[in-house]
Structure 1
Amino acid sequence: MNRQKLIGWLCIALVGGCVDPYRPPEITSPASYLVVNGFFNSAPGTTTTIRLSRTQNLTDFKTPAVETKAIVTIESQNKAVYTLKEGTPGSYTLAGVTPVEGDTYRLHIQTRGTDYYSDYVPMVKTPPIDSVSWDVVDDGLQISANTHDPQNNTRYYRWEYEATWEYYSQYYSSLELNGNRIVSRQFPVNRCWNSESSTNIITTSTTRLSQDIVSKHPLTFIPGTSIKLESRYSILVKQSSLTKAGFEYYDQLAKITQNIGSIFDPQPSQITGNIKSSASATDLVLGFFRVGNVETKRIFITKSQLPRWYTFTGLEGCVTDTLGLKDILDAKPAILTEYLTEYITSSEYCVDCRLRGGVLTKPAFW
């Protein structure tokens, strides 16, 4: 290699070694903004819960820090003040108090030497959920919400949900290894329940309709091959009514967090709710305080109600093997049952349903 080529390669190596990854200030900024999650619950006998936490950089993979030792109050425009108590760190509750219809309320948070106030907001009553319906669509299950307000007063709606499903392991195991002995299994591990909460923001408005009716608003779609439909599925739908300002906040938040994928989608932008710092406009607060109730409805769907879809369980490769005690002590597989002088075995993943994320405890509502 001649001298000029050698110098050229050395320059390239040096330049490459000196290039740092680009880290925009937006993702490395040390600023940590307050996040407020909760509402003043108007349902009799319920507890109001406000949760406080802090934002973190996109480069920080730790669990977001909760905001502890804050003073949290709800104040009415008629000068009533209710103080929330901190129980679980970052979680503040108020029991035995409900808002008065016709009054307006604001949230007041004192933390780290700064006062944060929400706008005064009225109580908005949520009408009942008429039904939670489901339809077979495109080889899957579409679950939807139906509701209406005969007074035509609601107009703005939001939904959240908690889904739970029952599923089974590939094989039932009646035996297990305890030290060097094979004994009866203490409890079955073939039947589990798993769950998830909604993550997308689901809202709609009926302002363009002559009547305040919501018919089959989509909540979630489940492919027919999903393990969620293997045996039995349940969904608890939670419905809230919003003010126009609340609807616009969640609608904008959905657009910038759920619909970003091309140059034609809404571009990232700064969005805050109705809570602000009294000290500085640059001290942002994320969240929207509202006053009202939540209506709920739960439905169950069993496999026998659905088309004969093939479920992809992740256990398609499961097989069994027949082993003696010596081989079992060496390999430590899951043991299904005794067979003559040996045992039928398989992998733990094919036997213990907990290894696919669920729990053995049956939910109280099941």
Structure 2
Amino acid sequence: MKVKLQHTILKLKKVTFFSVILAFFFLYGCVEEIDFETESFESVLVVEATITNETKLQTITLSRTFQFEEDGPSAESNATVLVTDSMGNQYSFEETDMPGIYQSTTTFAAQLDRDYQLSITTTNGRSYGSSPTTLESITQIDDLYVERETNESGDTGVSIFVDSYNPNEKETYYRFEYEETYKIVSPLRASQNLEVVSLNPPEVELVPKTREEEVCYATKQSKSILLASTNLLAQDRLSRYEVRFIERINPIISQRYSVLVKQSSISRDAYRFYEKLKSFSESESLFSQVQPGFIEGNIVSLENDTEKVIGIFNVASVSSQRLFFNYSDLFAEDESPGTFVDDCLLTRPELPLLVNQIESGLIKFALEPTGPGNREIGFGPYLIAQTPCIDCTVFGSNVVPDFWEE
């Protein structure tokens, strides 16, 4: 079967970092057109497992690799998943309503200087286990702050920095993740909507709005692998680590912005695993002539030394902080922010076209006209605008997050 390069890249974009690795097992070159014949396929277990020092229901994800003809990785369901520690404690995990996602049956937190091991038995009877893994240190975020910056490309924006310090003076390896939430305000506002009353003859009427469409909020998770280490520093102190840079014209900071940064202190083995994963995901060409091959983690088959397993069992300490800022906190009044919608021109389509646009969801009522109209904007009964100009739910949710502060 022949697959165009663009189509192949699109398929890679749909999967997680762990699953992306699997694509490399079946790639042997990079030309305009690639022949793929999936004559043989190795179904490999993919494990995403991190337990932390947070007292909570811990989560482990199991899936299987997939062929290029398939849409994505398949969940590994009905497995038996256990975590045991060196004190003889055993923590069982059960599959949730989400296939392949397993959650501990009780809340627990990883403890310092205690070995933990993961064991998995799949529905076909195969057994897998991790090497002993220890929570080596607990490091807190000292400070999370934002500053106006200009990046290496000359773009003006904001940088989100983290300072962290481990008083135990042990080298520390970090992984960072963030969850950003931003406020969206519709550029145009209206208290009414247009509703189609009749298609034949075409007829519409104004009705009061029944939901909030002026102010919304969107939340996004980080997708990059963010790593840092203090092993080459004189002190175990991380200073001005840049978690995120956002250009000034990015509309996500045009109103009010919040970010929750999670810092995980991980083992050296976990750091090396994620470092390799990061280098693959950021390589200039996914189809480079030198293929990365298999990334070995700390999880193996207990029955077959040659069977591949992808993933790592990690025990980490976690520290989190949140910050808020407004666009006006960092930029002057004459520095206009970016917008989610480039053009919000008002027009007056006549009835047959107006009904079609309302039915398709393309437009929203903006204003009742005060003049006769003209050829440029039309002669219809109402002034309308594109839906994204008036309805912020196109970009986010109209429900205020529980943590939000103005």
TM-score, normalised to structure 2, is 0.77
Pair 1:137-2:161 in alignment: no
Q: AA paired with 2:103?
A: T
Aligned to 1:117: 129
Q: Tell me the amino acid that sits aligned with residue 142 of structure 2.
A: D
Shift of 1:225: 0.6
Offset from partner CA, 1:193-235 (integer Å, 9 cap, x none): 2222111111111111121000011211111110111101111
Residue 98 (structure 1) aligned with residue 109 (structure 2): yes
Amino acid across the alignment from 2:41: P
Equivalent in the alignment of 1:56: 66
Partner of 1:288, secondary structure, is strand
Answering whether residue 185 of structure 2 is matched by residue 168 of structure 1, we say yes
Partner of 1:307: 331
1:327 to partner: Cα distance: 6.6
Are 1:358 and 2:382 counterparts? Answer: no
User: How far did 1:158 drift?
Assistant: 1.0
Q: Deviations over 1:269-314 (max 9, x none)?
A: 3212111112334432222112233111011111111224433324
Structure 2 partner of 1:259 = 283
**Cross-structure match for 2:376:** none
The answer for the alignment partner of 2:83 in structure 1 is 74
8 Å CA contact 1:41–1:47 kept in 2: the answer is no
Contact kept, 8 Å, 1:200 with 1:258, in 2: the verdict is: no
- SS at structure 2 position matched to 1:290: strand
Whether 1:177 aligns to 2:178 is no
Q: 1:115 offset after TM fit, Å?
A: 0.6
- Which whole-Å CA distance do the structure 1 matches of 2:260 and 2:289 have between them? 31
**Where do 5+ consecutive residues of structure 2 fail to align?**
1-31, 151-155, 198-204, 372-380
Q: What is the correspondence of 1:192-207 to structure 2 with a 5 Å cutoff?
A: 192-207=216-231
Give the whole-Å Cα distance in 1 for the aligned partners of 2:318 and 2:232.
24
Deviation at 1:128, TM superposition (A): 1.1
Number of the residue aligned with 1:87: 96
Q: Is the 8 A contact 1:77 1:105 kept in 2?
A: yes
Q: Tell me what 2:314 maps to.
A: 290
- Asked which structure has the greater CA Rg, the reply is 1
Deviations 1:28-52 (A, max 9, x none): 75323222123223223x1211111
Amino acid at match of 1:52: L
Aligned residue identity for 2:398: L
Task: Report what 2:368 is aligned to.
Answer: 338
Give the drift of 1:171.
0.9
Aligned length: 343
- Partners of 1:302 and 1:157 in 2: CA distance: 29
Q: For the Cα contact (< 8 Å) 1:192–1:358, is it kept in 2? A: yes
Kindly indicate whether the alpha-carbon contact (under 8 Å) linking 1:126 and 1:154 is maintained by their aligned counterparts in 2. no
Deviation (angstroms), 1:319? 0.5
Q: Distance in 1 between matches of 2:322 and 2:111?
A: 29
Instruction: Name the amino acid aligned to 1:110.
Output: T
| Segment of structure 1 superposing worse, 261-270 or 315-324 | 261-270
Match in the other structure for 1:319: 345
Secondary structure at the aligned position of 1:234 is classed as strand
Q: Among residues 24, 35, 42, which one is paired with 1:23 in the alignment?
A: 35
| Conservation of the 8 A alpha-carbon contact between 2:297 and 2:310 | yes
Give percent identity, aligned residues only. Answer: 27
- Alignment correspondent of 2:273: 249
Match of 1:47 among 45, 51, 57: 57
**What displacement does 1:330 show?**
5.4
Structure 1 length normalisation: TM-score?
0.85
